[in-house]
Amino acid sequence: MADSKSKILIVEDDPDVAEMLTKYFRSQEYEVFTVNWGEDGVRSALQVNPDLAILDIRLPDIDGYEVASRLRKDRRTADIPIIFLTEKRDRSDKLQGLEIGADDYITKPFDVQELRLRVRNALNRVSQGSLTNPVTGLPEGALVDEKLSEALGKESSSLLFVSLLNMGAFRETYGFVASDDVMRAVSLMIANTIREFSRPEDFLGHLGPAEFILVVPPSNLGILSEKLKSRLEQSVEYFYPLKDRELVANRPDRLGAKLIEVPSLKDRGPDVTKFKTELLNA
C-alpha cells in the first residue's frame, strides 16, 4: 500500500488500460487522475501537481515524449517522476525517453505488480532526494552529478562506464525481482573489484537504471576494466535459470555488458549533463 495519498497522473488513450490502472492504483490507496490525450496530460499536471506521471508513448494528439518534454521544461512540473508505457523495445527509444528525463519505462503487455513496484521505487527516490538507487543502494542523481562536477577537468581522475545490455529483454522474460537480483549482484561485483584493484574510496554510482560509473585514478583504470570485463563475461550465464542457459548462449538479446574507458577527465568541459548524455549515447 502507498504510505500516504500520493497523487498519480495517468495519461493513457486505451480506455480499458486506463480504467484498469485507475482502479488498481486507487485500490493501493493512491489518488489517481486519468486523462486520454497528451495535451490534457500537460494541463492536468499543472492543475493537480502529481507526485508521479505514467505516460503512454502512443497518444492520439501529441506523443508521450512531447508530454514529458513539456513537463521537464516547466519549473512547476520539472521534477515529477515519469514512467513511460511503451510497445517499443529498441534501445534508441529507451535512450530518447532517458534524454528527455524519464525515470523508468515498462513495455506492454506489462505486469501491473511490476508497475506498482516501479512506481513505489520512483516515489522512494523522490522522498530520499534521488540520492541513492533503491535496488543497489548506490549513489545516483544529485550525488553523481556532484562527483562528476568535481572530477571533470581534473588530470588525476579517469572514468569507467559500465552499461548492462539487454536488461529490458531479461526483465520482460524473468520479471522485476530477477532483474533486481542481477543489478544487486553486478553492483556488488563492481564494488569488490574496486576494493581489490583500486582504492576503497573510489566512487561508484548509477548513471542510469542499468548503467554504472566508476571514478578512479588513471593508473588503475586499465586493470579495473580488464578484470570487470572478464568477471562479467564469466558471470552472465549464472543469472539465467539452469534450464535456459544453453538456449540463451548465442541469442542476440542475451545479457551482456559494454565498458567505456575515459582515461583522463582533464580535457572534458564542465557541462555534466552533456558528458552524461555522451556516455549514454556511446
Q: Which domains does the chain have, with CATH numbers?
A: 7-126 (3.40.50.2300), 142-281 (3.30.70.270)
28-39: average pLDDT = 96
Q: State residue 95's pLDDT score.
A: 65
- Angstrom distance (rounded) from CA 203 to CA 191: 9
245-268: average pLDDT = 92
Q: Which of 97-101, 143-147, 164-168 has the lowest mean pLDDT?
A: 97-101
The predicted-structure confidence for 113-123, as pLDDT tens digits, reads as follows: 989 988 998 88
User: 200 versus 16: which is more confidently predicted?
Assistant: 16
Q: Are strands 158-165 and 104-107 parallel, antiparallel or unpaired?
A: unpaired
By C-alpha distance, which of 144, 177, 164, 171 is closest to 211? Answer: 164
Report yes or no on whether pTM surpasses 0.75. no
Q: State residue 137's pLDDT score.
A: 87
- Whether the pLDDT of residue 180 is over 70: the answer is yes
| Residue 1 binned pLDDT confidence (cut-offs 50, 70, 90) | very low
Percent over 90 (pLDDT), the chain: 59
Contact criterion met (CB below 8 Å) for 78 and 72: yes
The predicted-structure confidence for 209-222, as pLDDT tens digits, reads as follows: 899 999 999 999 99
Count of C-beta atoms within a 10 Å radius of residue 61: 13
| Residue 189 binned pLDDT confidence (cut-offs 50, 70, 90) | very high
The predicted-structure confidence for 6-21, as pLDDT tens digits, reads as follows: 999 999 999 999 999 9
Q: State residue 184's pLDDT score.
A: 94
Q: What is the mean pLDDT of the chain?
A: 89
132-136: average pLDDT = 83
| Residue 94 binned pLDDT confidence (cut-offs 50, 70, 90) | low
Q: Which of 54-63, 71-80, 150-159 has the lowest mean pLDDT?
A: 71-80
Q: State residue 141's pLDDT score.
A: 84
